[in-house]
Amino acid sequence: MTTQLSDETLLDMHRRMVRIRIFEEHAGKLMEDGKIPGALHLYVGQEAIAAGVMVHLSDEDWITSTHRGHGHLIAKGGEFDPMFAEIYGRATGYCKGKGGSMHISNMQIGMLGANGIVGAGPPIAVGAAFSNKFRKTDRVAVTFFGDGASNEGSFHEAANMAALFRLPLVFVCENNGYGEYTPQANHQAIVDVADRAVGYGMPGVIVDGMDVVAVYEAAGAAIERAREGAGPTLLECKTYRFYDHVGVRGMGLNYRSDEELARWQKRDPITLFEGHLAEHSILSEEAAQAIHAEITEQVKAGIEFAESSPFPEPDALLEDVYA
Amino acid sequence: MAEAKPEVRKLRYVAAITDGVRQVLEEQDNSFLAGEDVAGAGSVYGYYKGLLEQFGPDRVYDTPISEEAIIGLAVGAAATGCRPIVDLMFMDFMGECMDEIANQLAKMRYMFGGQATLPVTILTMAGAGASMAAQHSQSLEAWVCHLPGLKVVMPTTPYDAKGLIIAAARDDNPVMVVLNKMSLALSGEVPEEPYAIELGKANIVRPGTNLTIVALGRMVHEALSAVEPLKALGIDPEIIDPRSLQPFDTQTVIESVEKTQRALIVHEAVRFGGFGGEIAAQIQELAFDSLDAPVARVGAPFSPVPFSPALEALYVPNADRIVAEVKKMLGV
């Protein structure tokens, strides 16, 4: 980690990460307690990536997300109240309760949705990046996807088209080592997804996805390149999913070892970053705790908002099918 | 001196497609055309010829052969303020991009609670009869009519081709325009000025009294060819071309069946599970008391489209099969 960043940016990224973590921890518990319907795919462990990328973006820059999308939306500026309301299926949610966790979105802040289909985001991000260029803006698009999605044809078609058209797009691969429950070694013959970039004529960059400053720097370079019209970059962030594919304990499947999890938890991106911030006297341990407490209160208020919000009226069933 | 009736120029179906797309690109600055071989080659059938020259490379794009990325391009561009027209060369290629059509394009608005507007026009080519075999000849409209969020139209004449393309492009929803490859050389009146055909409004092609024929796409022409032999059987058919399958003009069909008391549905797609089943169900639900006979259907047999012209001729429904089905219906 380097310290050339302003304190303001560092603290901004810290806050985004903590907002994700506390939101997700509460959401996971609520799901496992049966309070939230359906399935949640939690972002815990991967927070440095969303924060380190999103701090470069404005509301006019577009992102596409994944089934593990809460973190991306929070880092992009999503608010707790309508987010909790959405995953509770309430009318006050970002999507009026009709999308839920897997389709949560807020287009006003440039978020083109979580997505229930693995690998569906990159082609849509190609369209958003194309649109930025077509409309002669200097906006960029960023598409998040996992190591598993990098095996989908949609990723490959999108990568080729984006490079061919020199689109202002950044492909951010969050390589957490598992495609659902299948370890990377069992789903692809390569170790570094970034190797795939060369096949499409774009740079491939590998970064430590647990180090928010490293992500910030690599993402900044890729986004700047995109804004300048030099085309896309494939940025691979090595990370780890602290919770299961679904929920916290998920289905109790024995697909990874406790030792492996413990090894990665030692590199918890928030703990690492808070150590760094304390070491450089940017944020004391007490001040960090105060931020956690403040955000916990906001999360609790969000849950209360959701639980006291109405479910959609029956008429909503057939609304928004067509414009 | 009496005022002369203004001459309406005649165009072939292929040129009507060009005319429609050209006028959309002229009237909508945020529209563009993208697809395989659409720019340099002007499409495999030539119906985009001249558009690259007229609008330039910032409006007309050749893409890689990547159907999923092409539809994704349209979804992302439409959601962020463009009005894309994308070409899916043959409808059979939907298999390459069905996720982007079915799970993204059709559903994004609903999933996002109305936040997204997706004014996408997909032009694609269907139809058998050219010995293009099982993967370049299908009529797969039933696949996409089953998707809430999507609109589906099937232009029958050159007039319809232009009018439905313009209507599709002016609509704020995704619309799939299912063109017919055997109709490309067909000539018909096409006004020069832009015009839109209302989506969801059926066309009564021929009024009649004692049989309603609902025919889709090119089958309208086959139904018209069957009129004389049907008259010999004492049948005066009313021929309805829905033009738009989604939304579907149920009312026009029901009113016709209430008058004629018989209904026959004709489509080129495989009969089993085809769109005709939906029309038949609607008729029996809403006009059961008017029916003198069970609703009949003519469609392709339950097989892939064969290559050999000898087999393909047996496969594709035609006027003779329409007449044969009516005879069965009448018990003659």
The answer as to whether B251 is a domain residue is yes
Residues B59 and B118 in one domain: yes
Partners of B300 in beta bridges: B270
Task: Identify the H or E element spanning A86.
Answer: helix A80-87
What does the block give as tokens for A128? 């958003």
Tens digits of per-residue pLDDT, A148-161?
A: 999 999 999 999 99
Question: CA of A283, closest CA in chain B: separation in Å?
Answer: 38
Backbone dihedral angles phi then psi of residue A21, each to the nearest 5 degrees:
-60, -50
Residues B85 and B228 in one domain: no
**Chain A residue whose CA is closest to B116:** A107
**What distance in Å separates the CA atoms of residue B140 and residue B146, rounded to the nearest whole number?**
11
Whether B258 sits among the annotated catalytic residues: the reply is: no
Mutate: best of B105, B108, B115, partner A, most A CBs <10 A:
B115
Spatial CB neighbours of A294, under 8 Å, sequence gap ≥ 6: none
Mutate: best of A105, A130, A140, A169, partner B, most B CBs <10 A:
A130
Residues B221 and B300 in one domain: yes
- Restricting to A residues 84-113, those with a Cβ less than 8 Å away from any Cβ of B are 93-99, 103, 105-108, 112-113
Per DSSP, the three-state class of B197 is coil
Q: Do A130 and B151 touch (CB under 8 A)?
A: no
Backbone dihedral angles phi then psi of residue B325, each to the nearest 5 degrees:
-70, -40
**What distance in Å separates the CA atoms of residue A125 and residue B69, rounded to the nearest whole number?**
10
- Residue B116: give its domain's CATH number: 3.40.50.970
Calculate the dihedral angle through the C-alpha atoms of B314, B317, B320, B323, rounding to the nearest 10 degrees.
Answer: 140
With CA atoms as reference, report the closest residue to A150 among A124, A131, A122, A125: A122
Residues in A touching B246 (Cβ below 8 Å): none
- Of these residues, B67, B238, B268, B312, which one is catalytic? B67
Nearest 5°: CA angle at A155, between B115 and A235?
95
Calculate the dihedral angle through the C-alpha atoms of A300, A301, A302, A304, rounding to the nearest 10 degrees.
Answer: 90
- Residue B295: give its domain's CATH number: 3.40.50.920
Question: CA of A267, closest CA in chain B: separation in Å?
Answer: 35
Q: Do A130 and B81 touch (CB under 8 A)?
A: no
Nearest 5°: CA angle at B326, between B325 and B327?
90
**What distance in Å separates the CA atoms of residue B136 and residue B122, rounded to the nearest whole number?**
17
Using the Cβ of A63 and the Cβ atoms of chain B, whether some distance falls under 8 Å is answered with: no
Q: What residue ranges define each of the domains in chain A, with the CATH number in brackets?
A: 7-307 (3.40.50.970)
Q: Do B69 and A321 touch (CB under 8 A)?
A: no
**What distance in Å separates the CA atoms of residue B327 and residue B38, rounded to the nearest whole number?**
45
Tens digits of per-residue pLDDT, B220-265?
A: 999 999 999 999 999 999 999 999 999 999 999 999 999 999 999 9
**What distance in Å separates the CA atoms of residue A146 and residue A152, rounded to the nearest whole number?**
10
The answer as to whether B57 is a domain residue is yes
Cis peptide bond N-terminal to B247, omega within 30? yes
Q: Are the CB atoms for B207 and B213 separated by under 8 Å?
A: no
Last residue of a domain, one of B189, B212, B240: B189
Q: Quote the pTM value.
A: 0.96
- Of these residues, B36, B100, B136, B267, which one is catalytic? B136
* Beta strand segments in chain A, E: 62-64, 141-146, 169-175, 178-179, 182-183, 204-208, 233-238
**What distance in Å separates the CA atoms of residue B19 and residue B166, rounded to the nearest whole number?**
10
The answer as to whether B298 is a domain residue is yes
Residues B303 and B264 in one domain: yes
Q: Do A95 and B58 touch (CB under 8 A)?
A: no
The total of structural domains in chain B comes to 2
Reported confidence tier of residue A1, pLDDT bands at 50, 70, 90: low
The answer as to whether B212 is a domain residue is yes
Q: Do B113 and A95 touch (CB under 8 A)?
A: yes
Residues B183 and B211 in one domain: no
Per DSSP, the three-state class of B188 is strand
Determine how β-strand B10-12 pairs with β-strand B187-189.
antiparallel
Reported confidence tier of residue B2, pLDDT bands at 50, 70, 90: low
Residues B253 and B176 in one domain: no
Partners of B173 in beta bridges: none
Tens digits of per-residue pLDDT, B53-90?
A: 999 999 999 999 999 999 999 999 999 999 999 999 99
**By CB neighbour count within 10 A (0-12 exposed, 13-18 middle, 19+ buried), where does A48 fall?**
buried
Q: Do B68 and A323 touch (CB under 8 A)?
A: no
Using the Cβ of A66 and the Cβ atoms of chain B, whether some distance falls under 8 Å is answered with: no
Whether B67 sits among the annotated catalytic residues: the reply is: yes
CA distances (Å), A140 to each of A57, A164, A171, B281, in order? 8, 16, 11, 49
The answer as to whether B208 is a domain residue is yes
pLDDT mean over B144-151? 98
**What distance in Å separates the CA atoms of residue B242 and residue B1, rounded to the nearest whole number?**
41
Nearest CB neighbour to B113, from listed A126, A131, A320: A320
What does the block give as tokens for B222? 């086959």
pLDDT mean over B291-297? 97
Residues B113 and B239 in one domain: no
Residue B303 has pLDDT above 60, yes or no: yes
**What distance in Å separates the CA atoms of residue A85 and residue A309, rounded to the nearest whole number?**
7
Residues B136 and B230 in one domain: no
The answer as to whether B2 is a domain residue is no
B208: left (phi over 0), alpha (psi -120 to 50) or beta: beta
| Out of A250-254, B102-106, B130-134, B304-308, least confident range | A250-254
With CA atoms as reference, report the closest residue to B105 among B171, B33, B175, B165: B175
Average pLDDT, chain A: 96
The answer as to whether B58 is a domain residue is yes
Residues B167 and B310 in one domain: no
The answer as to whether B198 is a domain residue is no
Structural domain harbouring B98: 10-189
Q: Do B103 and A94 touch (CB under 8 A)?
A: no
Last residue of a domain, one of B130, B159, B189: B189
pLDDT cut 70: percent of chain A above it: 98
Amino acid present at B158: P
Q: Are the CB atoms for B88 and B123 separated by under 8 Å?
A: yes
Query: Which residues in B have their CB inside 8 Å of a CB on A?
Result: 30, 32, 58, 61, 63-64, 66, 68-69, 71-82, 84, 99-100, 103-104, 108-119, 148-149, 151, 172-173
Residues B16 and B140 in one domain: yes
Tens digits of per-residue pLDDT, A63-101?
A: 999 999 999 999 999 999 999 999 999 999 999 999 999
Last residue of a domain, one of B135, B162, B189: B189
Nearest CB neighbour to B82, from listed A96, A134, A165: A134
Q: How many CB atoms lie within 10 A of CB B153?
A: 29
**What distance in Å separates the CA atoms of residue A20 and residue A45, rounded to the nearest whole number?**
10
Nearest CB neighbour to A161, from listed B66, B109, B117: B66
Using the Cβ of A166 and the Cβ atoms of chain B, whether some distance falls under 8 Å is answered with: no
Residues B153 and B213 in one domain: no
Reported confidence tier of residue A252, pLDDT bands at 50, 70, 90: confident
Q: CA Rg, chain B, in Å? A: 20
The interface predicted TM-score (ipTM) is 0.96
Q: Look-up: residue for tokens 């006003």? A: A108
The CB-side HSE value for B265 (13 A sphere, CA atoms) comes to 26
Residues B185 and B135 in one domain: yes
Q: Do A154 and B99 touch (CB under 8 A)?
A: yes
